[in-house]
Structure 1
Amino acid sequence: MNSMRYFLLAITAAQLAKTTNNDENALELNIFCAIANMAKDAKLENATASDLGQDYEDAWRDIQAIYTMTSNETYYEKGPVTGEKDKAGGGGKEPAYDSAWKTNKRKEFEDLKTKDFTGKQVQKYLRRAPSSFPQLTAIKIQKIYEQAAKLNSDVDQTTQQISAGEQAIVKAAHEALYGEDAAIKGDASDGADSYSFQADHGTACKKSAAAAGATLASDMVCLCASGAASQNADTNSKICDSTDTTFSAQQLDYSSQRGAITAFGHIMTSCSKKHSTPELNTANINNLLHAFRNAIGRHPGKGNDDHTYRFGKGKAASGSCSGEHGTADVCISYAQVLGKNTGRKDALTAIKWVDKLLTVKGKLATREQQIKRKQHQLSAMITLAAVAESLYEEAAHGRPQADTKDPIPKPDKVDPPQTKACEKHKKNKTACENAGKCEWKGKSDTEGNCKPKEGEGQKTQGPNDGTAGGAAGVDCGKHQVQQACEAENNDVKPGHKAVCGRIDYVDGTGKLPRPECGSSSFLVNKEISLMALAFVSLPF
C-alpha cells in the first residue's frame, strides 16, 4: 500500500520547483501510468499458493497410496476400472484395467519413502490386506478415498473455471487501455493502433470533445501532447515529465491518429521505465479510480470554464484543453461526457475506459471467489490425508474382527451343591463312582478328587438364571424390585465386579419386554454391544 501511495502521489520538490509548463501534469501522469501498466501487463493473483498446491498434491497422492495398499486383491493387482472390453470368446462385456498399473502407479505408491525413528529411509506404506484389520477401518478408508476423489474432481473443475476466465479479464483490461476492436484478443499481441485514437486532438481532448475518455491511451496522449505538430519541442512533453531527458526531448502531438500512436509509444516507454506495475485486482482498481476521480478538477479555474471536469492543468481562464503548450492549456476535458451524466449512480462510468475497468473488476471479484473456493478445497484434501494416515495406522496395527464361525468358548458354569456332594467322596473312589453324578480323578483308590461328571451340575447362563445368574448361590432373577436387586452387591468389595444389576437388553436377543435383575456379566455384554453400535453409527 505504501508503494502504491508513492506511485500515485510522489512528486519530488525539484519537479514542483520547475518553471511554468514543466511537470504541471506530472501527478496526473503518475495516475495514468499506474492504470496503464496495470491494464497492459494484467498481472493476476496466483490461483494457488505454491506451498499449498504442493501440499495438496502430496495429500492426494498419499490418500491414493493408502487406499491402494489396504485395498482388496482385485484392486491391488489390477487398479481402478478404466472401462469395458469384450469378453474373450464373446458373451458380453467385462471390466477393463490399465495393464501398466503395477509398474506405473502402484509402483509409485510402493516406492514412497519416509524416515523411521532412527532417521533411516523406509517404505512409507506397506501392503495390508483387508483380512488383517477390522472391517470398520476398511469401510472408513473407503469413505475417505471416495471423498478425496470427489474433492480432486472439484479442484479440477474450479481450476478450469479460473483458467477459462483469465483471458476474458485480460481482454477487458486491454480494451480499457487500447479500445474495443477485433484485433484485441486478450494476449501479449494486443497493442495500440488507429482504433485506439480519434482523428485529431480536438475530437479527443477539447471541451467540446464527445469522445473524451473513449480509451485510456487516447487520454494519456491528450495529457502530454500538443494539439498541433508544429509546436516547439522545448515546451512540449516537459509538461508531463521534465526529469526524463529522453522523454522530454520527444515531440509529442495529437494532430492525427498516426501522431497519437507515436506519442503513446513514448509515454508508455516512460511509464514502464519509471513506475512499477500494480497487480490487476479489485483493490488496486478501486484505489486507482479513486485517485483519478480526486484529481479531476484539482486545478482552479475562473468563470464558467468547466474546470471541474478537467484532468490536467489547463489554462486558468477560459481553458478549453486546446493542446496549446505555450499557455499550458494541455488537459482532457470530460465536460461533454460527465456533464450530461450527473444523474447516474456513478457518473464516472460515462468515461468508457473507466466503465471497462469496472467490468474487469466484476470479473476479478468472481475469480477471487473461485480462488478462495479452490484454497478451501486444497485445505480440505490436506485434512483428509491426515485422517487417512490415522486409518492406515489402524490397519497396520489393528487385528481382524472375530470370525463368527468360530465363537469364543464360554467358561463352564458349575452348580455348587453338586460339587459339594461329590467332594464328600474325595478319599473313596468306589463311593465317588457309586454316587452317579460324580467321577473319580486320582492316583489311587484313596488319593484323588471326586468331581461332578462333565455335563452334570453345569448350566448355560441366562439373564435370569438362578444360581449361575450371579455369584455362587445368588439367584439374581428372583428380585423384582430394583433396590432388592442392587442389595445383592452390598458385600462386594471396592474394585470387584458387581453380583447383580438391572438389565433391559440381551446381546443376540434384543430389548427385553421389561427390565429384569440379572448377572453383572450381562451388563458388560450390553455395554460392549451398545459401544459398537454407536461407533458404527458415527457420521463420517
Structure 2
Amino acid sequence: MDIMLRKKEIKDEDEPDLTEAATAAETTIDTIFTLTTNDTYYTNGPEPNAGTGAENASQKQNRINKWLLTRSKFDSVAIANTGDKQKYKRVKHKDIPAATRKLLDATHKKAGKIRESIRKATEELSTNADNIRAATRSALLGGDRTGKGAFTDIPADAFTTTYVGACVTLNGPGKSLASDMACLCGSGSSTAPSTLSVSTAYTAGTTYTTDYNTASNGVSIYKTLHSFCEATTEAQPFTPATITAQLHAFATLLGRHTLSSATNKCTFAYGKGEASGNQCTGNQASKHSCVNYPAAFKQNTRTKIGQAIKL
C-alpha cells in the first residue's frame, strides 16, 4: 500500500480513459469555429467579459496579441485521419451558407457547455482522488491524514513507544497498518535478522538490529520492510481490484495459525503467534511476533480488525 501511495495513480479499471479523444475533439471544434468565424472575431478575438470595465488602447492591444498567439496554433492543425500535410484553412464567414453558419455556431455553443461539464467533472474527480488518498493514508498511518500533496515520509506518530503497547494491548493493534507491520517484523528486544525472516525471505545484505521500543524505532523497522517491498513488488495503481486483492490476502492470513495452548487460541491473530501466554510476546528468540487482535476484541467487542477495514 505504501508503494501504491507513492505511485499516486488512482483509476477505475471499468471506466475508459477518454481524455485523449475528448481533447482531440475539442481541438477540432475550436479549429473549425476559429477558421470560419467573422472577420472581427478572427482579427481581434473574443471581446472582454461584461462587467470587467472598459479597456484602454494598451490593454486592448495586449488582449489582441494574446489572441493572435492563441489563434496561431490553429494554423497547424491537421485534419483528422488525413495525414499531417492536410491542414484546416481559413474560410471567411460571409462565404459560408447561412444554414451551415448556424450549424457551426450551434456546435461551438454545445462544445462550450460540454467543456464546462468536463471541467466540473474533473474538479469532482480531483476531490474524490484526494478523499481516497486521505482515507488510505489514514489506514496506513492512523489518525486523520490529508489527501492533498505528495505522500510524506512515514511519521513517528503512526507507531507507539513499546512493542507490547503496539502489538498486544487494547489500543495498540490496529493503530495503523504501518505499526501492525512493525509488529510482524519486529520484537521488543534482542532483535536480529531471524525475526525478520519470519515475515520475509528477502533479507540478503540486511543489517537488522532495531528493537521496537520507541516510536522512531517503529519507523526504522517499517522502512526496512518497505525497502524489501519496493525492491520486489511492482507499484500498482489504486483500483477496486487491487484494494480487494489486498483485503482478501489480509483476511486469508488472519487467524491462520490456531494454537490451542495460546490464551485466545490465536483466533484472529495476524502472524504465527506463540502457543502460550498472550501469543504475541515479541520475543525474538521465539520468532512468534504477531498482531494480537484477539486481545482488543476481548476487552472491547466493538473494536474492528485494524485499519485495513477502513479501505
Query: Among 164, 186, 196, which residue is 2:158 paired with?
Result: 196
Structure that is richer in strand per residue: 1
**Greater gyration radius:** 1
Aligned to 1:158: 121
State the Cα deviation string for residues 469-524 of structure 1 (Å, max 9, x = none).
xxxxxxxxxxxxxxxxxxxxxxxxxxxxxxxxxxxxxxxxxxxxxxxxxxxxxxxx
Deviation at 1:81, TM superposition (A): 2.0
SS of 2:49's equivalent? strand
Deviation at 1:268, TM superposition (A): 1.4
Query: Among 33, 40, 65, which residue is 1:100 paired with?
Result: 65
Q: CA 1:152–1:327 in structure 2 vs 1: closer, same or farther (change >3 Å)?
A: same
- 2:252 is the alignment partner of 1:291: no
Aligned to 2:133: 170
- 2:240 is the alignment partner of 1:244: no
- Whose relative contact order is higher, 1 or 2, with alpha carbons under 8 Å and at least 6 apart? 2
Q: Is the 8 A contact 1:227 1:324 kept in 2?
A: yes
Q: Is the 8 A contact 2:272 2:290 kept in 1?
A: yes
Name the CA distance, whole Å, in 2 between partners of 1:143 and 1:111: 24
Q: TM-score, normalised by structure 1?
A: 0.49
Aligned to 2:91: 127
State the Cα deviation string for residues 322-366 of structure 1 (Å, max 9, x = none).
112323331111013345676x7xx7xx1452244x2xxxxxxxx
Query: Among 231, 240, 260, which residue is 1:302 paired with?
Result: 260
Q: Is the 8 A contact 1:216 1:353 kept in 2?
A: yes
Name the CA distance, whole Å, in 2 between partners of 1:120 and 1:189: 42
Deviation at 1:301, TM superposition (A): 1.1
Name the CA distance, whole Å, in 1 between partners of 2:170 and 2:55: 78
Q: TM-score, normalised by structure 2?
A: 0.81
- 1:328-347 residue pairs with structure 2 within 5 A? 328-339=287-298
Name the CA distance, whole Å, in 1 between partners of 2:11 and 2:234: 16
Name the CA distance, whole Å, in 1 between partners of 2:161 and 2:114: 55
Aligned to 1:226: 187
Q: CA 1:257–1:78 in structure 2 vs 1: closer, same or farther (change >3 Å)?
A: closer
Q: CA 1:154–1:191 in structure 2 vs 1: closer, same or farther (change >3 Å)?
A: same
Q: Is the 8 A contact 2:166 2:180 kept in 1?
A: yes
Q: Is the 8 A contact 1:40 1:177 kept in 2?
A: no
Name the CA distance, whole Å, in 2 between partners of 1:102 and 1:241: 61
Name the CA distance, whole Å, in 2 between partners of 1:314 and 1:178: 24
Deviation at 1:280, TM superposition (A): 1.6
Q: Is the 8 A contact 1:319 1:329 kept in 2?
A: no
State the Cα deviation string for residues 88-119 of structure 1 (Å, max 9, x = none).
9xxxxxx99942377333443344445999x8
Q: CA 1:209–1:40 in structure 2 vs 1: closer, same or farther (change >3 Å)?
A: farther
RMSD: 3.5
Name the CA distance, whole Å, in 2 between partners of 1:74 and 1:261: 65
SS of 2:68's equivalent? coil
Which runs of 5 or more residues in structure 1 are unaligned?
A: 1-34, 89-94, 359-540
- 1:204-283 residue pairs with structure 2 within 5 A? 204-206=166-168, 208-228=169-189, 230=190, 233=192, 235-247=194-206, 249-283=207-241
- 2:11 is the alignment partner of 1:45: yes
Name the CA distance, whole Å, in 1 between partners of 2:308 and 2:84: 62
Which runs of 5 or more residues in structure 2 are unaligned?
A: none
Name the CA distance, whole Å, in 1 between partners of 2:154 and 2:68: 54
Deviation at 1:122, TM superposition (A): 4.8
Flag as ranges the 4+ runs of structure 1 deviating above 6 A.
none
Deviation at 1:309, TM superposition (A): 1.6
The number of residue pairs the alignment matches comes to: 304
Name the CA distance, whole Å, in 2 between partners of 1:210 and 1:242: 30
- 1:416-427 residue pairs with structure 2 within 5 A? none
Deviation at 1:313, TM superposition (A): 0.6
